[in-house]
Chain A
Amino acid sequence: MDDHVITVLNNIGGFSFIALSAYLLLLSGEISFGQQAFYGIGAYASGIMTAMFGMSFWLALPLAMLVSGLAAALVGGLTLRLRGLYFAIATLAFAETIRLILVATTWQVEVDGEPVGPNGSEGLGNIRWGFDNEYEPVDFLWMIYGTLGIVLLLFFLMERSRLGSIVRTIGADRLLAETQGINVTRYKILVAGLAGAIAAIGGAFYAHIQTTVYPENFDVMLGVHSLAYGLIGGLGTAVGPILGVLLDVGFLEAVEWVQGYRMIVFGGLVAVLLIFMPRGILDERRVHRLRTMLRGWRTETHGAAGN
């Protein structure tokens, strides 16, 4: 496969994690403009662990998810009383705080005679685990899509479970959820933590492919995109936000003349879709229709096989 195609696919896969993270919060009725902070925490935490302390990526990844998940749960806990626009602004403020902390942080150790570690606006470089172990972009492709497959499977299981119903109920009507005896506080914190951990996966992969990350990688632009992916792709299924990523990175990439104007085209696409499809392309109604069609097709196939 062409190296450029692999890079595009890796970016689509990497963005899918932050899109799924924002999607999970949207399901619970919260709009977050701050998921880029957890993507950044994932990138920096995993990068610090592999570059400064020589850990394997496979150990650094779950630890980075844990760090990011705990930070997200903390933010979720602190912002419990906030709703709607106030919650969105609080998440944006938190993300900007994290970015500015990264700009102000210098912490370096010497590894083989080289200073390694976060260096303020110069970022965190020398994240060479993949390079030193001779991982090619195609190896990262398998790693990203393998992990994405596991995360998607967990999403499908969650959406068919009691937890999925509870999250959607809270998202639809918080008061109704409370009257049904659901501990909304506990579930809100859980969802925030899970969303943070999922975003961290994308950040960890990004850091190890790029080998250098900068604080400005995690600014509001990434947060707006992550939110838009779910809104474009649809909130009916976890495939929705991935469809949103595909439309942005994949489609806009394929149409060459768009590339210099991609933000304008992307903004227009979001605006048009939100007018005509407020809950995205794969909204709950379309997903239900698709599932019914699929079930009918399966019944017909099995019936024909039985005869």
Chain B
Amino acid sequence: MRIVFAGLAAIALSAGPALAKDRAAVKIECKETATNLVYDCMLHLSGRKSEKPIEGARVAVKPDMPTMPGAHNIRASTATPAGTPGAYGFRMKLDMYGIWALKVTVTGPLRDIVVQKIEFRK
């Protein structure tokens, strides 16, 4: 019985929240291209505490529609450096207009996940 309790305690405590020392602050601006539902987006990445732009990060952006969770399986877009420090650009094709949650996964100098809800209109 003691072993069972010890096992349960180990499972319960094995993975406490270990938030990164600094988190990513993400600002996304998107503009529809000449093609309907295709957006050119600019992502500004900085440290939440340091407020310094983060360069050299690998950034992936995956949209999901909150009102239809998991129903739209849109490929993640890879954001690439766009000239100014902390700026990354990416193109994204959505299935429909409306509110989307963009999951931004950052790896490299800082590792983080940030989700942002944005409304996309025609």
Contact = CB atoms under 8 A, between A and B. Distances in A.
B12 A11 contact: no
A221 B67 CA distance: 7
Contact of B23 (A57, A114, A216, A217): A114
B71 interface: yes
Given A211-B103, A211-B113, A3 B69 contact: no
Q: Identify whether the interface residues of A are mostly helix, strand, loop, or mixed.
A: helix
Given A54-B16, A125-B115, A214-B101, A11 B67 contact: no
Nearest to A212: B115
Contacts of B103: 210-212
Contacts of B16: 54
A112 B19 contact: yes
Contact of B73 (A8, A133, A221): A8
B12 A259 contact: no
Interface residues of A, number: 43
A206 interface: yes
A173 interface: no
Contacts of B3: none
Contacts of A253: 73
B117 interface: yes
A206 B101 CA distance: 14
Given A129-B17, A211-B113, A262-B72, 12 more contacts: A3-B76, A11-B70, A54-B13, A111-B17, A133-B15, A206-B70, A216-B67, A217-B67, A249-B73, A253-B73, A259-B72, A260-B95
Interface of A: 3-4, 7-8, 11, 14-15, 50-51, 54-59, 111-114, 116, 125-126, 128-129, 131-133, 206, 210-212, 214, 216-217, 219, 221-222, 225, 249, 253, 259-260, 262
Interface of B: 8, 11-19, 23, 37, 62, 64, 66-73, 75-76, 95-96, 101, 103, 113, 115, 117
